[in-house]
Amino acid sequence: MISSFYLSRYYKIKRLNIWLITYSDKEFSLRKFKSLLSFVSVLFLLLILGSTDILAAKRAETQLKKKPGLELVKRRTSRKILIRTRLVIIQAQKTAKEGKEYKGLGNCLRHQRIARRLHFRGRYLLSALHSLRARKLAVLIIKNNKGALIKETNLTREEERLLKNSPGDEELDKELDEKYKNEAPPIDDKAAAEEKVEEIKEEKK
């Protein structure tokens, strides 16, 4: 017969094994739960990123479809700005010859000339910004000579909106002197009063 001592030891060991097995199962379940939680989190993140990519792709596709129309608007806007600026420059030339204050007129013409070239290259935004810079200089010349400000000196809402994309007067002047120096070489301010301001002519599309 098995003594009571060994029987008691046997039952203690058995209870211990059962506890260890139960604990191991719980620990395994916890690890399994954490792994599952991590997997679900990663899957959720991938779904979000995937949805974002899909939305971005749809937006890009929509913009691509609208692109021809947007280019047309920009071209028309650029052309209108160039035409309005041209009239203001002509007024500035007139008042400069009357008041004998020519400062800034050379750069005014240079900005307009490079704006015209950029327009025909399809760089409509940059063209508009350089033309608006030319107009600003022309307005200063008119004011310095106490000349009359014509209606084209006032900015339209569209022009004000475009100026929000402007890098600033200093950057545009720097670009004119560094990047476009050969295309729009320096002009003497006084001599600029006699320079022709080219019209903006282009084929209808």
Provide the pLDDT for residue 97.
96
Helix, strand, or coil (residue 183): coil
- pTM metric for this prediction: 0.64
d(CA 9, CA 13): 6
Provide the pLDDT for residue 88.
97
Ramachandran area for residue 104 (φ above 0: left; ψ -120 to 50: alpha; else beta)? left
Task: Kindly give the confidence (pLDDT) of every residue in the chain, 205 residues in length, as a single tens digit, with 9 standing for 90 and above.
Answer: 445 655 565 555 556 555 545 545 555 465 655 565 566 565 555 555 544 444 444 554 454 344 444 445 488 999 999 999 999 999 999 999 999 999 999 999 999 999 999 999 999 999 999 999 999 999 999 999 999 999 999 999 999 988 887 889 999 999 999 999 999 999 999 999 999 998 877 655 4
Beta-carbon contacts of residue 88 (< 8 Å; ≥ 6 apart): 135, 138, 139, 142, 150, 152, 153
Provide the pLDDT for residue 191.
95
d(CA 118, CA 114): 6
Provide the pLDDT for residue 60.
42
**Nearest Cα to Cα of residue 139 among 87, 92, 196, 80:** 92
Listed in order, strand segments (DSSP E) in 143-200 are none
